[in-house]
């Protein structure tokens, strides 16, 4: 008979880490737990974690009260079994808080050789029912990671019938076209084993349309200027009559298997209400900006729910998540079956209106050393994202507009900087003249990430991003499908014959014209031109990071 597992009083936020830097960033921004792995025995063979990094990372996490779960979630072939004793040795060195397992044989091996270590059942085990969850509980599992295909209604029943085991659910990140990652496409098309941690992401590829002639020949179907307006090919799936998927032949092909990214933020309160013990974010291949931004948003959302569940709303947290590049968001299986809104047939591109600007590498006295990750030009605004704390109570940002940049290594001043070779800027604390120097370093500690606006995002892509956002709102019940149809129609009319994937038009940069109402640190125009005196007065009455509204700007200028 198994001993009931002690479940936590609050849901934990579980974040991914594909590198030591990502782990430290997730911890800084409020993760309760981290999952990571070494390349040889997890489902991320491209992980940049070395054993030494994992040991350092776990020690770093434990010093800060953060749990770490090690992944051992591949399906073993005979050649993998001989590695298991080495993995046990790794566990003894690392001392994680749990191990994530999918293979029943590996589970039994760990049970026999590490009986005191928590064993979590991976989503790869396809747990979709309370019967399966109870089975693994009886085998000694302390936590079950439910498959993405589990609807919220099913999850409620599983929670009710399985009170003595911790449940974990994915709430954010990439979606697999196959059944919880059990992909055959990758093996078949590129001989890369998806369930061995080497997925080729074949569902993201573009595909060309061919037709078979009556004489047996197979020809590529070319759609060009001479025939493009004559017809359109549509794909209809047997059990979704009338739900037609466009197959378009362009230079970029079609993306009829391209799933959007999961984002359950609009319904996160449901999962917190029923007591899902661990809320998991996917993304061990993502950069520090993704990890920091997503952790920051979900940390604040979870804390605010427990503070005041009755008045909880997802709006301000979604604004933060929409600033991160994605393939568009979907509620996935939350309401049951997927719909056509969970796919993007036009492009597999991960898009957004913000870049990863860089992060604070260190504080050298009163000088910030800022490592650059994307091109920054004279007049660009850098938005720093402070971690949640008593100094940063409400997802505030710190904005800085610079007109010249000092290289931290050489001291030379330039008007444009490019990333590479860990290039860093030296920015004196005096540049942040709107901030309190006594608390500023606590507001923006080392590893704080920053974003810059995606100025080069052309009008076609910008409209596509907006349609993606509105589609997610429609799924969440914020707008009607009729409104969404009208938004899509207007976007299509504006776009005309331009393709989302091939348009390259760039709008002009408007850094020295007009008032944007942000009132950034260092903005010469806003803080020195008498024209904006009233605007400055109005901005002083607002919280840091809050800009003037359009109506306020009309009055102020």
**CATH code of 378's domain:** 2.40.30.10
Phi-psi region of 58 (alpha: psi -120 to 50; beta: other; left: phi over 0): alpha
Listed residues 342, 369, 399: the one ending a domain: 342
Phi and psi at 120, nearest 5°, equal: -105, 140
Specify whether 278 is located in the same domain as 392.
no
Q: What is the pLDDT of residues 399-455, one digit of tens each?
A: 999 899 999 999 999 999 988 878 999 999 999 988 888 899 999 999 999 999 887
For position 45, what pLDDT does the model report? 47
Residue 116 lies in a domain: yes
Residue 150 lies in a domain: yes
* Those residues with Cβ within 8 angstroms of residue 306's Cβ, 6 or more apart along the chain or in another chain: 10, 272
- My answer on whether 22 and 156 are in the same domain is yes
128 and 65 assigned to the same domain: yes
Percent residues over pLDDT 70 in the chain: 76
Rounded Cα–Cα distance for residues 54 and 463 (Å): 42
CA quadruple 170, 176, 178, 181: dihedral, nearest 10: -60
pLDDT of residue 213: 64
Residues 27 and 160 in one domain: yes
Quick one: 160 and 101 in the same domain? yes
182 compared with 104, residue with greater pLDDT:
104
Q: What is the CATH number of the domain that holds 136?
A: 3.20.20.70
Q: Is residue 236 part of a domain?
A: no
Q: Do 299 and 408 sit in the same domain of this protein?
A: no
Domain of 317 in residue numbering reads as: 12-179+259-342
**Do 144 and 36 belong to one domain?**
yes
Do both 292 and 400 map to the same domain? Answer: no
For residue 30, is pLDDT > 90?
A: yes
User: Residues 328-376: pLDDT tens digits?
Assistant: 899 988 998 777 777 776 777 778 889 999 999 999 999 999 999 999 9
Number of domain units in the chain: 2
**410 in a domain, yes or no?**
yes
Q: Which residues contact 496 (CB under 8 A, 6 or more apart)?
A: none
The yes-or-no verdict on residue 190 having pLDDT over 60 is no
Please indicate, yes or no, whether residues 23 and 70 belong to a single structural domain of this protein.
yes
The Cα angle at residue 368 between residues 364 and 370, in degrees rounded to 5: 120
Residue 237 covered by a domain: no
Domain end marker among 287, 308, 342? 342
Rounded to 5 degrees, what angle do the CA atoms 375, 381, 382 make? 70
- How far, in Å, CA of 125 to CA of 129, rounded? 12
- Looking at the fold, whether 335 and 362 belong to one and the same domain comes out as no
Q: Which residue has the higher pLDDT, 552 or 137?
A: 137
DSSP letters along 415-454, please? SEE---TT-EEEEEGGG-TTS-TTTHHHHS-TT-EEEEE-
Choosing from 342, 371, 390, the residue where a domain stops is 342
Examine residue 73 and state whether it is found in any structural domain, yes or no: yes
Question: Are both 277 and 323 inside the same structural domain?
Answer: yes
Q: Residue 12 is encoded by which pair of tokens?
A: 């934990």
Does residue 56 lie within any of the structural domains? yes
The answer as to whether 136 is a domain residue is: yes
Instruction: Name the percent of the chain lying above pLDDT 90.
Output: 48
pLDDT score for 533: 83
Whether residue 303 sits in one domain with residue 376: no
């Amino acid at each position: 008979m198994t001993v009931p597992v002690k479940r936590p009083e609050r849901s934990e936020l579980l974040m991914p880490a594909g590198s030591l830097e990502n782990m430290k960033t997730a911890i800084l921004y409020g993760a309760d737990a981290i999952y990571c792995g070494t390349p040889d025995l997890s489902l991320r063979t491209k992980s940049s974690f070395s054993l030494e990094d994992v040991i350092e990372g776990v020690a770093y996490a434990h010093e800060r009260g953060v749990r770490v779960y090690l992944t051992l979630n591949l399906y073993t072939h005979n050649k993998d079994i001989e590695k298991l004793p080495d993995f046990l040795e790794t566990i003894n060195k690392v001392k994680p808080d749990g191990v994530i397992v999918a293979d029943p044989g590996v589970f039994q091996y760990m049970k026999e050789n590490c009986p005191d270590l928590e064993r979590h059942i991976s989503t790869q085990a396809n747990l979709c029912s309370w019967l399966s969850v109870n089975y693994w509980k009886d085998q000694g599992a302390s936590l079950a990671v439910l498959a993405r295909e589990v609807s919220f209604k099913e999850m409620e029943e599983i929670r009710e019938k399985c009170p003595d085991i911790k449940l974990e659910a994915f709430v954010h990140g990439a979606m697999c076209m196959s059944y919880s990652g059990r992909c055959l496409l990758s093996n078949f098309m590129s001989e890369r084993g998806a369930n061995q941690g080497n997925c080729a992401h074949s569902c993201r590829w573009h595909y060309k349309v061919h037709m078979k002639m009556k004489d047996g020949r197979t020809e590529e179907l070319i759609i060009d200027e001479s025939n493009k307006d004559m017809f359109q090919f549509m794909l209809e799936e047997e059990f979704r009559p009338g739900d037609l998927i466009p197959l378009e032949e362009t230079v970029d092909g079609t993306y009829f298997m391209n799933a959007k990214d999961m984002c359950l933020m609009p319904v996160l309160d449901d999962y917190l209400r029923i007591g899902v013990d661990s809320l998991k974010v996917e993304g061990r291949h993502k950069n520090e900006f993704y990890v920091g931004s997503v952790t920051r948003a979900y940390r604040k959302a979870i804390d605010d729910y427990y503070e005041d569940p009755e008045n909880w709303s997802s709006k301000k947290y979604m604004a933060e998540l929409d600033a991160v590049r994605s393939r568009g968001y979907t509620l996935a299986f939350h309401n049951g079956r997927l719909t056509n809104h969970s796919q993007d047939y036009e492009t597999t591109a991960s898009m957004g209106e913000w870049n990863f600007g860089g992060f604070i590498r260190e504080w050298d006295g009163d000088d910030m050393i800022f490592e650059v990750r994307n091109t920054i030009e004279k007049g660009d605004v850098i938005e720093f994202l402070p971690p949640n704390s008593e100094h940063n109570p409400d997802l505030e940002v710190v904005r800085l507009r610079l007109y010249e940049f000092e290289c931290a290594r050489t001291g030379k001043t330039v008007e444009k900087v490019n990333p590479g070779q860990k290039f860093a800027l030296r920015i004196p604390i005096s540049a942040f003249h709107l901030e309190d120097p006594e608390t500023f370093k606590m507001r923006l500690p080392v590893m704080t990430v920053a974003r810059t606006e995606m100025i080069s995002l052309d009008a076609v892509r910008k409209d596509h991003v907006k349609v993606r956002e509105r589609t997610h709102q429609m799924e969440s019940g914020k707008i009607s499908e009729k409104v969404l149809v009208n938004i899509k129609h207007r976007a299509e009319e504006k776009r005309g014959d331009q393709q989302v994937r091939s348009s390259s038009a760039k709008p002009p940069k408007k850094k020295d014209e007009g008032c944007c109402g942000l009132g950034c640190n260092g903005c010469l125009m806003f803080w020195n031109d008498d024209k904006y005196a009233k605007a400055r007065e109005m901005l002083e009455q607002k919280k840091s990071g809050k800009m003037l509204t359009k109506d306020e700007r009309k009055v102020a200028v």
